[in-house]
A and B are shown apart, each in its own frame.
Chain A
Amino acid sequence: MSESKLWFLFIVAALILLVFLGIHLGYMHLDNILGVNDPLDYNNVKTRGQDTFWLVSYLILLVAALYHGMYGLRTILLEYFPQNLKFINGLIGIIGFLALILGSYVVIYSYIGG
């Protein structure tokens, strides 16, 4: 993929983050204002995990945050090691993929009632 497309996706991911991180943070931290009943209580966390809206929103958040963060990390590494493009791309790809598998496993596992 061309650099311009990678960068474009990075910006799109930032916009997605703004929305979904906003929902997440609002729900978790403005609980008093929004009248949410103890969002960190175990049972509430579990119920949320089994809700399709939260499943989808967590997955979107995960993908967007991972892409945005990994692109940023790649930029920093490229700055330090500009000659090692292939290695850095590979490394970032592998770390990102593993984190995606692990993150989706947690979200999906709790959705199906684990």
Chain B
Amino acid sequence: MKVTFKIWRYDPAKDVKPYFQDYTFDVKEGMTVLDCLYYIKENIDATLAFRASCRMGICGSCAMYINKKPRLACETQALSLGTDVIEIAPLPNYKNIKDLVPDLTPLFEKHKNVKPYIIPENEQEFINPTGEYSQTPAELEEYLQFAYCIKCGACLAACPTVGTTPDFPGPQALAQAYRYNADNRDFGEKERKVQVDNPKGLWRCHMAGACAEACPKGVDPALAIQLFKRSFFFTGRKPKARLIPLNKEKPARGGIKAPEPTV
């Protein structure tokens, strides 16, 4: 099927303003939008700039604004969009570096600010572990879906509050702050709460839910934000992860054996 791609072009070195450029060619069944962009780059216009890496929805590099929605280009089948004109622009709410490439610096800065790592109760134990922490399936469930974030930035592109308040941490960082707070190996809840309990922080979210809709990995940042808000007022005691000393606990008889080393 012949499809016209209307692609956002902008080279700050020579363009005064961004503009859309059309590319029309035969799209075969099975081609993702990313395949189409590579096709354009390899066969029609080598100057087109976009970002991609894994081509399998893992690295988060290829998030862009496809037919006015933030999506991963590598996970979007071109023909499944059901239009013969596909408009592609860089993610909104970010500075545009060139063509389809957004400047994701704010995403990573905001992510870093909420300390997205386990802050242990006993730092020495973390540096020189004497055992491993146990976690029941139920404790894992507390944060698992939020751990699937690939930092593609699509949720910030969809968030109306990020659009008006650039300093708002945004759904990604807030969901990650909650993800670590909910982890029973973590003791950094107080530090993260201080980071987000300010006039531009958590309380600016107005529950539009666009982030949850945009997320290609099924993370629901809007839910994380609501749970995070709840945790400010109803702080149930988090069960502490149990430290199992190394080599002390023998596997139960007949239990699952560790795989044999392979060559």
Residues of A within 8 A of B (CB): 2-4, 6-8, 75, 78-80, 82, 85
Interface hub of B197, B202, B203, B232 (most chain A Cβ within 10 A): B203
Pair A3/B201 contact, Cβ less than 8 Å: yes
Q: Is the CB of A2 within 8 A of B164?
A: no
Does B55 interact with chain A (Cβ within 8 Å)?
A: no
Nearest chain A CB to B178 CB, angstrom units: 14
Beta-carbon contact of B165 and A3 below 8 Å = no
Q: In the bound complex, do residue B200 and residue A4 qualify as a contact, i.e. CB atoms below 8 Å apart?
A: no
Select A78's contact among B166, B193, B199, beta carbons within 8 Å.
Answer: B199
Number of interface residues of B (CB under 8 A): 18
**Interface residue? B172 (CB, 8 A):** no
Smallest CB-CB separation from A11: which chain B residue?
Answer: B233
Per-residue interface assignment for chain B, residues 163 to 204, with 1 indicating a CB less than 8 Å from any chain A CB and 0 otherwise? 011110000000000000000000000000100011111111
Is A79 a contact partner of B164 (Cβ separation < 8 A)?
yes
Q: Are B232 and A78 in contact (CB under 8 A)?
A: no
Which 8 residue pairs spanning A and B have beta carbons closest together? A82-B165, A4-B232, A3-B203, A7-B203, A79-B164, A4-B197, A85-B199, A3-B197
**Distance A6 CA – B204 CA, assembled complex (angstroms):** 12
B93 within 8 A of A: no
| Residues on A with beta carbons closer than 8 Å to the beta carbon of B167 | 82
User: B161 — nearest CB in chain A belongs to which residue?
Assistant: A79
Residues of A within 8 A of B233 (CB): 4, 8
